[in-house]
Amino acid sequence: MTMAENQYTEDNIRSLDWKEHIRLRPGMYIGKLGDGAAADDGIYILVKEVIDNCIDEFVMGNGKRVDVKVKDGKVSIRDYGRGIPLGKVVEVVSRMNTGGKYDSKAFKKSVGLNGVGTKAVNALSSYFKVYSVREGELKSAEFSMGELVSETGLEKTTETNGTYVEFIPDDQVFKKFAYKTTYLEKMMWNYCYLNRGLSIYFNGEKFQSKDGLKDLLENNMDGDPLYPIIHLEGEDLEVAFTHGRTYGEDYYSFVNGQHTTQGGTHQSAFRESVAKVIRDFYNKNYEASDIRQSIVAAISVKVIEPVFESQTKTKLGSLEIEPGGKSMRAFVNDFLKDQLDNYLHRNPDVAETLEKKIKQAERERKELAGIRKIARDRSKKASLHNKKLRDCRTHLTDLKDEKREQTTLFITEGDSASGSITKSRDVNTQAVFSLRGKPLNVYGLTKKVVYENEEFNLIQAALDIEEDLDNLRYNRIVIATDADVDGMHIRMLLLTFFLQFFPDLVKRNHVYVLQTPLFRVRNKKKTIYCYSDEERRSAIAELGKAPEITRFKGLGEISPDEFVHFIGADIRLEPVVLTKEASIDSILSYFMGKNTQERQDFIIENLRVEKDEADLEKENTELESVE
């Protein structure tokens, strides 16, 4: 490096305006970008930031309805609150440190980001429109990437008071994005569970909750609860919980209406306090893990000036319920000590069922104790001598590493496929676990099999999820199998394993299926990879007559030089999502139960079946369906 290259002068200093800074560092404002495949991708944060402002109006007693429409990437949101003061419509969405939430009396326990949220949406949208209606007058403005394009003067209107926002996320920032209705519906429901009396009309469908967190559990539980949901409410705190019939612990936690998907101090306080109160009630020193085994719970707290561990508020860091006030731990514990203890005394049938469940978990834990020790020793030895896991350098538990959210474990089968992924992966964030043949079908088996089966024991050890899912080493667990019958079967066997024993991994959006191209279409000038027959036809039309077409029959056929394109920045992942219509029991029974013919029909209908090379050559000109 020369002296000239190393100079540091006034010319090196640059001031960015608000929109430039947001576009240059979007992660500071909305977390990760993504393409919509994950529930916490940036395009959903944009929707949330606008709706949060509507919710604040509702909480203040202004407007009981919000209309939300999402179609073809365009989002429109209309509330019926007071409306933005007409003289400040442009400033509120385009000037930093401008907003109504600096008045702590008006927005004591606000949802939105103080003066930032809507500005971030504006700056990150190729098209952004806002208008406000107040007392028969309307003020409107349009923007592009934060730049004001046009604004109107005050206009007369017969519309009801409120604010309307419409935007299209910038596809230069959010590459090939697409909204998933499942994630948006879950967002709408959460707003309604936490704001009883609110009606949200999402694409014309009405969302409303009568019983808050009790409704949340009823609509999201996998199967019937072991006993009626315990629903307790107090000032600034609401909890609902029961025990289910699956393994693990399942929590839905919220702070000031914000879904804290990574938990935080309020969730930790609940986990600790519920175990303590139940021990005291039975006057027995049960293990906390036995008390919480199979628990399904929701907790919502309201905190003054909450402190979060990230800008997108996914994990609460506040140690106190308000600055200088009672600790979060004491606040939650005192509430449960009073309310839960009273409930169990008033409902002896529930108390009896709960204790039976605890004792069952205790027996199973003791039965597994010896097997666990042998399995741990075996996995430690295996990790030294086998090559099943090719680890990466960064892990989800590396809290200070900015790449932790990108950490990925590919689970694949066969030396060729695992070899291609291993050679083309990012060694910092991507690990590879190689299966040996088809995994065991664990449907209907107990957790004992996880320790007795070497393959599953090693997967569990690689993920480090035996004791607590909080130890999970990778943010994304990606099933990478061939697009044929055997590959589909292996995929289903792995999903059965996760759903049967670690359903929270799926519920927390950690499990994905890797989408790899079915075809390569190329001529001397250009190569196009196609993930569907429709894309193949488009590629043929684009490249002209007689391009070379290759049908990839398995992951092992894709060279490492090509594979790098499919697991890099343009990786296509299909999230494994559970809907309220389908319980884990029903899914596992359908795919892994005794209805073999029905399952085979499903696989055949949904598999992207390959055709031979002669068929493909004929289709070069005819463009007929390959499926």
- What CATH number is associated with residue 220? 3.30.230.10
- Predicted confidence (pLDDT) at residue 373 exceeds the cutoff of 60: yes
Both 40 and 175 in one domain: the answer is yes
Q: How far, in Å, CA of 197 to CA of 63, rounded? A: 10
The answer for residues whose C-beta is within 8 angstroms of residue 363's C-beta and 6 or more apart is none
Mapping DSSP to helix (H, G, I), strand (E, B) and coil, where does residue 262 land?
Answer: coil
pLDDT tens digits along 418-471: 888 888 899 999 999 988 878 888 887 788 888 888 888 889 888 988 777 878
Task: Specify the pLDDT at position 385.
Answer: 46
Q: How far, in Å, CA of 204 to CA of 197, rounded? A: 18
Into how many domains does the chain fold?
4
pLDDT tens digits along 484-500: 778 888 888 898 899 88
Task: Specify the pLDDT at position 105.
Answer: 45
Q: How far, in Å, CA of 493 to CA of 478, rounded? A: 14
Residue 604 burial class via C-beta count within 10 angstroms: exposed 0-12, middle 13-18, buried 19 and up: exposed
- pLDDT higher at 324 or 535: 535
Q: What are the backbone angles phi and psi of residue 414, rounded to the nearest 5°?
A: 95, 145
Spell out a b/e string for 111-134, using b for 16 or more CB atoms within 10 Å of the CB, else e. Answer: bbbebbbbbbbbbbbbebbbbbbb
Both 269 and 302 in one domain: the answer is yes
Both 67 and 198 in one domain: the answer is yes
Domain-terminating residue out of 312, 331, 364: 364
Q: Is residue 562 part of a domain?
A: yes
Mapping DSSP to helix (H, G, I), strand (E, B) and coil, where does residue 303 land?
Answer: coil
**pLDDT over 90 for what percent of the chain?**
33
H or E element at residue 123: helix 117-123
Look up residue 265 and give its two tokens: 């101090």
Domain-terminating residue out of 157, 176, 207: 207
Q: Is residue 12 part of a domain?
A: no
Alpha-carbon torsion (361, 364, 366, 372), positive or negative: negative
Q: How far, in Å, CA of 529 to CA of 344, rounded? A: 60
Both 178 and 232 in one domain: the answer is no
Q: Is residue 444 part of a domain?
A: yes
- Predicted confidence (pLDDT) at residue 183 exceeds the cutoff of 60: yes
Look up residue 457 and give its two tokens: 């024991």
Q: Is residue 5 part of a domain?
A: no
Look up residue 491 and give its two tokens: 């995929």
Name the pLDDT band for 156 (thresholds 50, 70, 90): very high
- Predicted confidence (pLDDT) at residue 8 exceeds the cutoff of 50: no
Q: Is residue 380 part of a domain?
A: no
Range of the domain at 90: 18-207
Task: Specify the pLDDT at position 359.
Answer: 94
CB 398, CB 404: distance < 8 Å: yes
Lowest-pLDDT choice from 310-314, 366-370, 381-385, 466-470: 381-385
CB 264, CB 118: distance < 8 Å: no
How many CB atoms within 10 Å of residue 384? 7
Q: How many CA atoms lie within 13 A of 403 on its CB side?
A: 11
Task: Specify the pLDDT at position 11.
Answer: 54
How many CB atoms within 10 Å of residue 291? 23
* String of DSSP letters for 66-82: EEEEEETTEEEEEE-SS
Q: How far, in Å, CA of 79 to CA of 55, rounded? A: 9
Q: Is residue 375 part of a domain?
A: no
CB 201, CB 76: distance < 8 Å: no
Both 329 and 343 in one domain: the answer is yes
Cα first-last separation, the chain = 57
Both 237 and 273 in one domain: the answer is yes
What CATH number did the domain enclosing 564 receive? Answer: 3.40.50.670
Q: Is residue 13 part of a domain?
A: no
Task: Specify the pLDDT at position 6.
Answer: 56
- Predicted confidence (pLDDT) at residue 566 exceeds the cutoff of 50: yes
CB 259, CB 178: distance < 8 Å: no
Look up residue 449 and give its two tokens: 């099999």
Look up residue 272 and give its two tokens: 């600790």
Both 322 and 426 in one domain: the answer is no
CB 512, CB 476: distance < 8 Å: yes
Task: Specify the pLDDT at position 34.
Answer: 81
CB 196, CB 210: distance < 8 Å: yes
CB 49, CB 120: distance < 8 Å: yes
pLDDT tens digits along 301-343: 988 877 777 656 678 887 877 777 788 899 999 999 999 999 9
Both 414 and 461 in one domain: the answer is yes
Task: Specify the pLDDT at position 586.
Answer: 61
Both 63 and 167 in one domain: the answer is yes
pLDDT tens digits along 193-204: 999 999 999 999
- Predicted confidence (pLDDT) at residue 216 exceeds the cutoff of 90: yes
Q: Is residue 577 part of a domain?
A: yes
H or E element at residue 409: strand 408-413
Both 227 and 301 in one domain: the answer is yes
Q: Which range among 10-19, 66-75, 576-585 has the greatest average pLDDT?
A: 66-75
pLDDT tens digits along 11-57: 544 456 667 777 777 777 777 788 888 888 889 989 998 998 898 88
pLDDT tens digits along 93-105: 887 654 555 454 4
- For all residues of the chain together, what is the average pLDDT? 82
CA-closest candidate to residue 186, choices 40, 288, 50, 49: 40
What CATH number did the domain enclosing 70 receive? Answer: 3.30.565.10
- Predicted confidence (pLDDT) at residue 525 exceeds the cutoff of 70: yes
Both 325 and 450 in one domain: the answer is no
- Predicted confidence (pLDDT) at residue 169 exceeds the cutoff of 90: yes
Domain-terminating residue out of 207, 222, 237: 207
pLDDT tens digits along 536-562: 999 999 888 888 888 887 777 788 888
How many CB atoms within 10 Å of residue 97? 10
CA distances from 495 to 253, 266, 441, 481, 584 (A): 26, 31, 10, 12, 11
Task: Specify the pLDDT at position 587.
Answer: 64
Q: How far, in Å, CA of 424 to CA of 427, rounded? A: 9
Both 289 and 395 in one domain: the answer is no
